[in-house]
Structure 1
Amino acid sequence: MNPIRPLSVAIATLLVSAAVPSFAQEMASFAVTTELKLTTDVRSRGVSDSFNRPGAKLSVQAAHESGLVGLAEFATVSKQQFLGGKGLGATLAGGYRFGDPEGWHFGVGLAAELFPGAKFEAPHSFDMATGTPTDWRRTRYDSAFALAEIGYGALEARVMNVISKTYRGANTGSVCGTMLSTMADPMPGLACYARGDQNSRGSWLLDLGYKIDLNPTTALNLHGGYQKVANFKEANFTDYAVGITHKRWGFNWSAEWMTTRTKVRELYIALDGDKVRATDNDRLVLSVSRSF
């Protein structure tokens, strides 16, 4: 089942990467950038969306000199993690950014994360007398968010709030059901069900990033994040990353070490037949990208 997957980093960086060109003194009133990226693991906020396998992303960003920005991103994801889907994740976002990119700057926006066809079925209650799960329902992984950012120079802080009914399908059926079926001790899962039928609207996602230019072609990237899932503290986690990006031959070459600290690891275990993999493990992720 295991539907809890973190928000695409594209949403978190939309207001930074797409809007910066709007502050250049000499530029067209409207600019579009397309980026194709190949990576050894498609990860969002430290957790794999691709079953720890290689994948690809295609991003199209648009920025207007007024401060309006937009993003459409498509990424390969695991069908074992996003059940019944097409193996595709899409992020659509738009917003407004203002201020000085070298000083204080701010932004607000809305975003949607979609997984075409992906949905799962899970029990939303548990009959303690008979020991059987009941009230089976289907849930989609799609989510919607309101986001804001504040930054100073290369330091960026972002906050996102889930405005859809669930955050990537996190509800009583998915969280409590996964805990009950995968944990050796059934008590945490039963205690989760005892809280009643709930969803994850109102979840918070926090990110802090800092970029240090080591030279004109190389940068050090630092990241820290926190995920607070409404009504399901078991799904909360923190993530950290440190990476290097180097520009060479028209490509961006990156190496990034990611680590995640989850509260209940069983929520971040993916199954593929008889194979079991942790998607929140420490990982060195290599990638190459090119912008057009």
Structure 2
Amino acid sequence: MRKILGVASLIMSTGVVHAEQLNEQEQISPYSANVTFASQYISRGFQQTWGKPALQIGLDYANPNGLFVGTWASNVSSNYLRDASVEWDFYAGYLKTIDKFSIGMSVFYYYYPGAKSTPETGSTSYNYGEIVPQIGYGPLSLKYFITYTPDYAGYNSNTMGGTEGKRSRGTTYLDLNFTQPINESWTFGAHYGYERIKNFSEANFQDMKVELIKDLGDGWTTGLAYTKAWDKDGYYRNYSNGEPDAPISNPIDSTFTVSVKKVF
């Protein structure tokens, strides 16, 4: 469940690299790849590697006219999602920039090979997809993730209880980001997110992040991020993957993450 695009894409997200003109005849290649080593994987405030290190790899194609397509993958913990070891994302979209203003639309699909909830909860798949309209101006950007698949990350009446037959299609995530260079090598970022889970409001949550990113040159960056999420009534305080005797933790507790990223 990746959706925050943060340590400015160092920790939680894929940054899509758009072609820039080198001169009137030459442009940067529309193809790029990235590799990130992080102390853990945080997405929307959730510690998806259960506090353990993460290796993340992405491939992107970005056409100068604004079209882009890509894929990104990270290890995840089976303590977070039952039988999960990998999150594999696919995305495509369009982003138009005019001076300081930007507007775009993208589609994401998040795939967790082999990961399902317990048989007692319907062996529900955690795979899901979102459409994402977005706007931006200067250092500010706003994205609005909308779940188009029947469930968001396995949330339904089998896994959540309550009235039979309820699904979570239409779940939304508001993603507000501020990114501002401090000087030629340092960048500051801040994020606020709000997840509203359709039909299961008791599981709604908010999250925040502040980060510093250092450009090391030659495609290398390093980052430090502080993240925290919170819910209404401590819903996630004693979280487990649903297995008997599974480890229990609070995956949205405050935490720091350090990372190193290389873009090719």
TM-score range, shorter chain: 0.7 to 0.9
Tell me if structure 2 keeps the 8 A contact 1:244–1:254. yes
Aligned match of 1:75: 74
Q: 1:137 aligns with which of 116, 122, 126?
A: 122
Counterparts of 1:259-270 in structure 2, within 5 Å, are: 259-267=228-236, 269-270=239-240
Distance 1:281 1:222, change over 3 A: same
Unpaired stretches in structure 1, ≥5 consecutive residues: 1-5, 124-135, 177-192
- Report the TM-score, using the length of structure 1 for normalisation: 0.80
> Deviation per CA, 1:219-249, whole angstroms, max 9, x where unpaired?
0011111101100001111111111001125
Structure 1 SS opposite 2:78: coil
Percent pairwise identity: 20
Equivalent residues of 1:30, 1:65 under 8 A apart = no
How much has 1:29 moved relative to structure 2? 7.8
**Per-residue deviation, residues 121-163 of structure 1 (Å, max 9, x unmatched):** 365xxxxxxxxxxxx5221000011111100122110001000
TM-score relative to the length of structure 2: 0.88
Distance 2:27 2:122 in 1: 50
1:97 pairs with one of 95, 98, 101: 95
Question: Residues 32-61 of structure 1: CA distance to partner in whole angstroms, max 9, x if unpaired?
Answer: 121111111101011111112111111112
- Whether the aligned pair in 1 keeps the contact of 2:83 and 2:115 (CA below 8 Å) is yes
Q: Which amino acid is 1:276 matched to?
A: I
Secondary structure, aligned partner of 2:19: helix
8 Å CA contact 1:22, 1:64 repeated in 2: no
Equivalent-residue separation in structure 2 for 1:206 and 1:120 (angstroms): 26
More helix as a share of residues: 1
Which structure is larger by alpha-carbon Rg, 1 or 2? 1
SS at match of 1:174: helix
| Counterpart residue identity of residue 21, structure 1 | A
Cα drift, residue 200 of structure 1: 0.5
Find the aligned partners of 2:141 and 2:23 in 1 and give their Cα distance: 22
Question: Which residue of 223, 226, 247 corresponds with 1:254?
Answer: 223
Q: Taking structure 1 as reference, are residues 24 and 147 closer, same or farther at Cα in structure 2, changes over 3 Å only?
A: farther
What per-residue deviation string (whole Å, max 9, x for no partner) do you get for residues 159-212 of structure 1?
010000111101112223xxxxxxxxxxxxxxxx1x343010000011010111
Does 2:107 correspond to 1:110?
Answer: yes
**Which residue of structure 2 aligns with residue 159 of structure 1?**
144
Structure 1 counterpart of 2:140, one-letter code: L
Q: Which residue of 2 aligns with 1:282?
A: 254
For the residue of structure 2 that corresponds to 1:275, the secondary structure is coil
Equivalent-residue separation in structure 2 for 1:45 and 1:156 (angstroms): 16
Alpha-carbon distance between aligned partners in 1 of 2:216 and 2:247, rounded to the nearest angstrom: 38
CA distance in 1, matches of 2:187, 2:227: 17
Instruction: Quote the Cα distance in structure 1 between the aligned partners of 2:44 and 2:229.
Output: 8
Q: What code does the residue aligned with 2:221 have?
A: N
Q: CA deviation at 1:99?
A: 2.6
Whole-Å separation in 2 of the counterparts to 1:270 and 1:90: 22
2:167: which partner in 1? 199
1:25–1:149 Cα change, 3 Å: farther
Count of residue correspondences: 256
Letter in 2 for 1:289: K
Corresponding residue for residue 127 of structure 1: none
In structure 1, what residue type is equivalent to 2:197? V
